[in-house]
């Protein structure tokens, strides 16, 4: 392991400054490829335009595109940590409101959430 290289990469990605981590599934078992890709591009754009990606802002957010979160329906499925809220049908049209309410204001959007688990430490 090249720890120095990895630490340099982590620094560039603001991994240690991020306040939240969003995983967006664009797998074809929960949404069409087009719907998923458009949602992912909308998430990237919204976070970038608000300076929330690769930043140390109070609402900075790391984002990860994934191929399956094992729910496999009503996608795109999105989960955000540390809250652990699971969102369904996160199409591109919903992304700006999601970023404004959940990421910027820290408010859940109950009508879009189907499960919650903040993964608190077992110890
Ligand atoms: S393909 Fe999206 S949750 Fe499985």
The CA 73 to ligand 1 mean position distance, Å, reads 7
| Count of structural domains, the chain | 1
Domain assignment of residue 7, yes or no = no
Range of the domain at 45: 17-116
Note the pLDDT of residue 120.
85
Domain assignment of residue 11, yes or no = no
d(CA 113, CA 87): 4
Nearest one of 25, 40, 22 to 104, comparing CA atoms: 22
Mutation test of ligand 1: which of 23, 24, 25 has the most ligand atoms closer than 8 Å to its C-beta? 25
Domain assignment of residue 36, yes or no = yes
Residue-wise pLDDT for 53-90, tens only, equals 999 999 999 999 999 999 999 999 999 999 999 999 99
> 75, 25 in Cβ contact below 8 A?
yes
Domain assignment of residue 2, yes or no = no
Note the pLDDT of residue 10.
97
Q: Closest ligand 1 atom to the C-alpha of 26?
A: 2
Nearest one of 24, 14, 41 to 81, comparing CA atoms: 24
**76 C-beta closer than 6 A to ligand 1:** no
| pTM tops 0.85, yes or no | yes
């Amino acid at each position: 392991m090249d720890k120095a290289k990895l630490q340099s990469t982590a620094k560039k990605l603001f991994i240690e400054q991020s306040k939240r981590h969003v995983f967006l599934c664009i797998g074809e078992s929960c949404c069409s490829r087009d719907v998923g890709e458009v949602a992912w591009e909308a998430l990237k754009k919204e976070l970038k335009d608000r300076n929330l990606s690769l930043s140390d802002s109070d609402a900075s957010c790391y984002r990860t595109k994934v191929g399956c979160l094992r729910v496999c329906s009503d996608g795109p499925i999105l989960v955000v940590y540390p809250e652990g809220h699971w969102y369904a049908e996160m199409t591109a049209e919903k992304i700006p409101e999601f970023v404004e309410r959940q990421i910027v204001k820290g408010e859940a959007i109950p009508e879009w959430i189907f499960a919650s688990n903040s993964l608190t430490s077992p110890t």
